[in-house]
Chain A
Amino acid sequence: MEVRIEDLVKRFDDVVAVNKVNATFESGKLIALLGPSGCGKSTMLNMLSGIMPVTEGKIYFDDRDVTMLSPDKREVGLVFQNYALYPHMSVLENICFPLKIKRVPKAERIEKAKEYARMVHIDDYLDRLPKELSGGQQQRVAIARALVKRPKLLLLDEPLSNLDAKLRVEMREEIRRIQRESGVTTVFVTHDQEEATSISDYIMLMKLGVKQQFAKTRNLYNDPANLFVADFIGNPTINQLHGIYEKGNFRPDAYENAIPIGRYQIEDGSRVVFASRPESVIVEKKNGKTVMEVEETYVSGKDTLCVLKAGDGRLRAYVDNDSAPQEKDLVSVSFRDRGVFVFNEESGERYYE
């Protein structure tokens, strides 16, 4: 099912939690609502589920306007951050509960519940109480309970934040698998960019209630709409140099040499931020180009992360292990065309070539 939101607004007294958000979530995709805490992502999720009334705007499920409908009429499955499994019911009873409410005959609902228990790999624990399960197992039960009523939309609120690091990686792959297997349109909330980028098809990045960018996960990294997006996505974070744009060149404040960056629609003398992904920084043996000192090096897998002294600032660059410089070495630095962006220093808006 396709989800469309139009000019969605949520106000709490004076605080605007969600501000005029528009988006269309394609059917059958996994969508991440990403942003720092207080960005309105959970509020968005609660409005999609129907738990929280909308202040302004519309929500459509396919062509049906569901803005004023209660949660059960929207046919959504919701997985809570702390799972909210009923403590007095066994795993099987928990999964059966939504069907019991729908007055599905007992034999049928047990059969269905077992089917979904198998799907989330919890079928060995059907008689256990929630308190007898680990966090990851409780998570699986919560997902099965949300899926058993065949919702049109599955919503997960910070699904992995209560799990330990190892389980988190395992469960995010599980969520991906379960989503693919069930084919249900899924929206999940997270503040962890790695979590979002590793499993989702699309990401909506938000800040202070405002949508920053909604795009395919890969595009968010390769084609950020503004400085906030470029800064939020990517680990290590994107390099940022402040300076002045002049006739196709960027003059950083931090050091002397200008960087040729090509023609942008920018007035000469404007203040801009020149941002570059660490893998877009080219580090070579000292030659005629900009020279910097290597401050620190970290080997991670097949690459080495070099921290370079760029005047007062720092540049991070990924270099192949074989050609990696030593600490204290002087190297020449230039930039690739890919993975470098220019932003307005004040507004953070991106300039295009």
Chain B
Amino acid sequence: MSKKTKRYNGGRDPDEKFETSMIGKIALFLGPFMLGIVIFTIYPFINAFLMSFKENFSILRNTFSGWGLANYRKVLNDPIFLSGLKTTIKYVVIVVPISLIISIVIAVLLNNTRRFKAILQTAYFMPLVTSTAAISLVFRFIFANEGGLINKIITTLGQTQINFLGTNRWSEFVLYIFGIWNILPFTIILLLAGLQNIDPQYYTAAKVDGAKTLDIFTNITVPLLSPTIALVAIVNSISAFKVFDYVFQLYNKPGPGYNLYTIIYYIYEKFGGTKPQYGHAAAASIVLFFIIAVFTLLQRVLQKKTNY
């Protein structure tokens, strides 16, 4: 028996039986979870990775003509994939910063108010506990062409109604609002936790020095909150890169004119449909994986930098 297990024996006499029974227990507790991870995450990941290098792969016959980079060449030269990438990046660049700014303002206000705190906390928590499908129905009602809430207001004011859900320009706009709305609660919760970690004495010190609310916000609150802000920005970016369900739930297709065709939509369509191309789907997945990996590394670096 090794020295290590002798030292860590849970206070009992070290003997051979103990070690084996311990392994059994570990397996019992970890087993089900590990099984799930292996079947649904690790195996598919490895398989997708391998699949992306198999040329002319058929999933039903499990045949392929050879190993190579043909799938990547095809995907990276596919104008549909590239426009999907562009649409996705645009979504990330718009939704993540705007939702972050709104969340910071709301979180700071929530942190400073004592009145209505309970009501406000329920209010901002609502989107998180409501299913996105239900929210998408409400959004569809709000932005509907005939009888939609906003169009009713617009026509009452004597303006011509806008086809929010049916035109490329406006459908994009509705998607962004929907995306921002849905990630607000999670973002606010994390930011609130970050705010509560800031020692109130810093605010008092700044006030004694004559700092006004805005000075305190820019010089104290935001810098001290920056580790949380960095974390939230990265986590939100990662999930925004994987945007698919919001589009699907709002429009049942990639936007009214195929204008909201994101990377995941590309992968989804390549996997299904009448002419599935599994190799292309796998290659696109791996490309997306590397984009997200870069962001994850970025988060590591940022967190180290903002560790006071």
Taking Cβ atoms with an 8 Å cutoff, the residues of A that contact B are: 49-51, 70-72, 76-78, 80, 82, 84, 86-88, 97-98, 100-102, 129, 131, 145, 149
Q: Which of A84, A97, A102 contacts B201 (CB 8 A)?
A: A84
Taking Cβ atoms with an 8 Å cutoff, the residues of B that contact A are: 199, 201-202, 204-212, 215, 219-220, 223-224, 226, 306, 308
A97 vs B220: C-alpha distance when bound (angstroms):
11
Q: Which of A49, A87, A129, A131 contacts B224 (CB 8 A)?
A: A87
CB of B211 within 8 A of CB of A78, answer: no
A78 contacts which chain B residues (CB < 8 A)?
A: 205, 208
CB of B207 within 8 A of CB of A72, answer: yes
A129 vs B223: C-alpha distance when bound (angstroms):
14
B206 contacts which chain A residues (CB < 8 A)?
A: 97, 101
CB of A98 within 8 A of CB of B209, answer: yes
| A132 CB to nearest chain B CB (Å) | 11
| A147 CB to nearest chain B CB (Å) | 12
CB of A72 within 8 A of CB of B210, answer: yes
CB of B219 within 8 A of CB of A97, answer: yes
Q: Which of B201, B208, B219, B308 contacts A76 (CB 8 A)?
A: B208
B215 contacts which chain A residues (CB < 8 A)?
A: 101
Given contacts A98-B209, A98-B210, A101-B209, contact A84 B204 (CB under 8 A): yes
Closest to A74 in B: B208
CB of A71 within 8 A of CB of B208, answer: yes
B209 contacts which chain A residues (CB < 8 A)?
A: 72, 97-98, 101, 145, 149
Q: Which of A71, A88, A102 contacts B207 (CB 8 A)?
A: A71
A88 contacts which chain B residues (CB < 8 A)?
A: 223-224, 226, 306, 308
B308 contacts which chain A residues (CB < 8 A)?
A: 87-88, 129, 131
Chain B binding site: helix, strand, loop or mixed by DSSP?
A: helix
A70 vs B212: C-alpha distance when bound (angstroms):
11
B210 contacts which chain A residues (CB < 8 A)?
A: 71-72, 98, 101-102, 149
CB of A80 within 8 A of CB of B224, answer: no
A191 vs B55: C-alpha distance when bound (angstroms):
80
Closest to A71 in B: B208
A84 contacts which chain B residues (CB < 8 A)?
A: 199, 201-202, 204-205
A84 vs B211: C-alpha distance when bound (angstroms):
15
B205 contacts which chain A residues (CB < 8 A)?
A: 78, 80, 84, 86
Sampled A-B contacts (16; CB under 8 Å)? A49-B208, A50-B208, A72-B211, A78-B205, A80-B204, A82-B201, A84-B201, A84-B205, A86-B202, A87-B224, A87-B308, A88-B223, A88-B226, A88-B306, A101-B206, A101-B211
Closest to B198 in A: A87
B207 contacts which chain A residues (CB < 8 A)?
A: 51, 70-72
A162 vs B194: C-alpha distance when bound (angstroms):
26
Extra 19 A-B pairs, beta carbons < 8 Å, given A72-B208, A101-B211: A49-B208, A51-B204, A72-B207, A72-B210, A72-B211, A76-B208, A80-B201, A80-B204, A82-B201, A84-B201, A84-B204, A86-B202, A87-B308, A88-B306, A97-B206, A98-B209, A101-B206, A101-B215, A101-B219
Q: Which of B205, B215, B308 has the most CB of A within 10 A?
A: B205
Q: Which of B199, B202, B210, B308 has the most CB of A within 10 A?
A: B210
A71 vs B201: C-alpha distance when bound (angstroms):
14
A77 contacts which chain B residues (CB < 8 A)?
A: 208
B224 contacts which chain A residues (CB < 8 A)?
A: 86-88
A131 vs B307: C-alpha distance when bound (angstroms):
11
Closest to B222 in A: A88
A101 vs B208: C-alpha distance when bound (angstroms):
11
B199 contacts which chain A residues (CB < 8 A)?
A: 84
A50 contacts which chain B residues (CB < 8 A)?
A: 208
Going nearest first, the 10 A-B pairs with the smallest beta carbon separation are A72-B210, A87-B308, A98-B209, A71-B208, A84-B201, A84-B205, A88-B223, A78-B208, A101-B211, A101-B210
A87 vs B199: C-alpha distance when bound (angstroms):
11
Closest to B227 in A: A88
| B152 CB to nearest chain A CB (Å) | 49
A165 vs B211: C-alpha distance when bound (angstroms):
35
Closest to B220 in A: A86
B306 contacts which chain A residues (CB < 8 A)?
A: 88
| A262 CB to nearest chain B CB (Å) | 52
| A333 CB to nearest chain B CB (Å) | 53
| B194 CB to nearest chain A CB (Å) | 13
A77 vs B205: C-alpha distance when bound (angstroms):
9
A294 vs B11: C-alpha distance when bound (angstroms):
54
A131 vs B206: C-alpha distance when bound (angstroms):
19
